[in-house]
Amino acid sequence: MEVRFLGATHEVTGSCTYINVNNVNILVDCGMEQGRDVFENTLPPVNPQEIDYVFLTHAHVDHSGNLPLLYKQGFRGTVISTKETANLSEIMLRDCAFIQESEAKFRTRKAKRAGKPEVEPLFTLNDAEGVLELFRPCVYGEVITVDESVSLRFTDIGHLLGSAAIEIWLTEEGVTKKIVFSGDVGNTNQPIINNPSFVKEADYVVCESTYGNRLHNAKRQNSIDVLASVIQRTLDRGGNVIIPSFAVGRTQEMLYFIREIKEKGLVKNHHDFPVYVDSPLANEATGIYLQCDTSCLDEDFKAVMQNGNNPLWFEGLNTCVTSDESRQLNMNTTPKVIISASGMCEAGRVCHHLKYNLWRKECTVLFVGYQAEGTLGRKIHSGAESVRLFGDEIAVNCEVSELIGVSGHADKEGLLAWLKGFEKKPQLIFVNHGDDESVREFTNAVEQEIGVKAFAPFSGTSYDLLKDEFTEITEGVPVKQKNTRERQYESPLQKTLVASAKKLLALAEGSAGIPNKEIRKLNEEIERLIKEYRR
């Protein structure tokens, strides 16, 4: 009875955990890594065609995105999820495949010009459609027996429509153990969906820690006020508000907020300001939200629907379907709000909107979600003076703001509150799905505040649930980062110039003890050179 940790260990993305009981092979999630890859991930100890089940906590790509790849490699088992997760996965996995194929075509064109071989996509639309045929939808609260050794139940965890914590009962040699996977624990008082539900008991818990060392300081009402304020001052300047947003979940929340902003007249003198959702995936997801089982929705959202109103529609809302419609937005000079994917600015139509708006002082880029290390979104959010888009260096002159009260993840207090909801304390809590610092700090917090032993495994760590002992404890293996800096030098002289600049930086950092008059003179000379050679 083994649990082996594979992905999202000391990292936020790429969730995947392997379970074996009585030769039944199970994966909990099969996610794609996004942003910077920090640690190497081990593969399941069996071939993909030997995997019997995938239990899926929710539809976000960092939990589901490698399912088509698993299918391509031979998986023909069953994917079990909630009905809403299955519906969202249908559109999200197809979108993932489209991106893989598009990127492969783009890279192939470049490769051919360099006399290199074609680039194959990681997986194709056929792979995505193949794995979608393997889904078995279920409902919250239903105990499902998939094998005489395995039963499971999905409990609403309030992170995304259809998201769940998964309770799994494993039986071997006449002994039953229960392990609970938190999935992504939702933030309380989120719009649209319910708060996280508690689980009463478990022998073991695998708990996420995305915000395990942070606290959310803003409440929902403040978020609406902040959003209205950002829209107000940007439209007053004659600029556009660009909102990089996750197509599923966060975009629907933004529409819900803007409907309320318009209803209450919180943006003055721009009552009919236009809002564009430039993401076909987001538009499809909105339809799924409006047609889902109402038990997944919170009371406020249901009340709007019961009054005969659409909670995700308002005057001035427009959707872009085709690429031509998307491109035309950047030719439209009317101040507006553009909500577009991807949320971390790594791909998708939002990159084009950034190219046309980042350099404009009157515009605003408003971040409404987590920006993983290594992503374009993180660079902009962290104050980069310029970023590279489509081969061009684009200055970041616009206002960069953040809506901090809309996280879909529980913070440290929320995670601890969920763990305290267990009436019978688990004997061991495994902490994953957080960056290295967050995982370590939250592991300590669990032991101090919950009073339960906690452990943060690296990829490859294995635990025998039957014997209650580790069978293998691994250390993190850092991914070797490619040194792309050398490739950016266009000539030996440019390389020499960079080396000289590094010497100048070393001189500046070691300037303690140099008379102020000389430091001032040196600084003036540096500023003069910068102004003279800045393009």
Cα 421 to Cα 166, 235, 415, 446, distances in angstroms: 15, 45, 10, 13
What pLDDT does 489 receive?
46
Q: What percent of the chain has pLDDT over 70?
A: 95
Render pLDDT for 193-252 as a digit per residue (tens, 0 to 9): 999 999 999 999 999 999 999 998 755 558 899 999 999 999 999 999 999 999 999 999
Residue bearing the bigger pLDDT, 379 or 517: 379
What pLDDT does 493 receive?
67
Q: Can you identify the CATH homologous superfamily of domain 2-214+407-472?
A: Ribonuclease Z/Hydroxyacylglutathione hydrolase-like (3.60.15.10)
Q: What percent of the chain has pLDDT over 90?
A: 80
What pLDDT does 391 receive?
87
Render pLDDT for 81-127 as a digit per residue (tens, 0 to 9): 999 999 999 999 999 999 899 989 988 998 888 888 999 999 999 99
Render pLDDT for 400-441 as a digit per residue (tens, 0 to 9): 999 987 888 999 999 999 999 999 999 999 999 999 999 999
Strands 175-181 and 164-172: antiparallel
Residue bearing the bigger pLDDT, 19 or 479: 19
Is the model's pLDDT at 369 over the cut of 80? yes
CA gap 169, 143 in Å, rounded: 10
Closest alpha carbon to 144 in 60, 45, 26:
26
Is the model's pLDDT at 527 over the cut of 70? yes
Average pLDDT over every residue of 314-341: 96
Strands 150-156 and 164-172: antiparallel
What pLDDT does 488 receive?
47
Helix (H) or strand (E) holding 171: strand 164-172
Question: Which segment of 419-423, 470-474, 498-502 scores lowest on mean pLDDT?
Answer: 498-502
> What are the backbone angles phi and psi of residue 138, rounded to the nearest 5°?
-145, -175
- Encoded amino acid at 468, one letter: D
Question: Confidence class of residue 475 from pLDDT cuts 50, 70 and 90?
Answer: very high
CA gap 409, 249 in Å, rounded: 12
What pLDDT does 494 receive?
66
Render pLDDT for 242-253 as a digit per residue (tens, 0 to 9): 999 999 999 999
Structure tokens at 318: 């427009």
Those residues whose C-beta lies under 8 Å from the C-beta of residue 314, and which sit 6 or more positions away, are 255, 258, 259, 262, 263, 275
CA dihedral for 122, 207, 475, 378, sign (positive or negative): positive
Angle between helix 83-113 and 280-291 (nearest 10): 170
Average pLDDT over every residue of 74-78: 99
CA gap 346, 442 in Å, rounded: 28
Domain 220-402 matching CATH 3.30.1950.10: the answer reads: no
Is the model's pLDDT at 483 over the cut of 70? no
What pLDDT does 183 receive?
98
> What are the backbone angles phi and psi of residue 356, rounded to the nearest 5°?
-90, -10
Question: Confidence class of residue 153 from pLDDT cuts 50, 70 and 90?
Answer: very high
Structure tokens at 49: 């065609």
CA gap 44, 335 in Å, rounded: 51
Residue bearing the bigger pLDDT, 482 or 364: 364
Question: Confidence class of residue 20 from pLDDT cuts 50, 70 and 90?
Answer: very high
DSSP classification of residue 368: -
Domain residues of the chain, as ranges? 2-214+407-472, 220-402, 489-533
Mean pLDDT over the full length of the chain: 93
Average pLDDT over every residue of 50-74: 98
Question: Confidence class of residue 482 from pLDDT cuts 50, 70 and 90?
Answer: low
CA gap 377, 370 in Å, rounded: 9
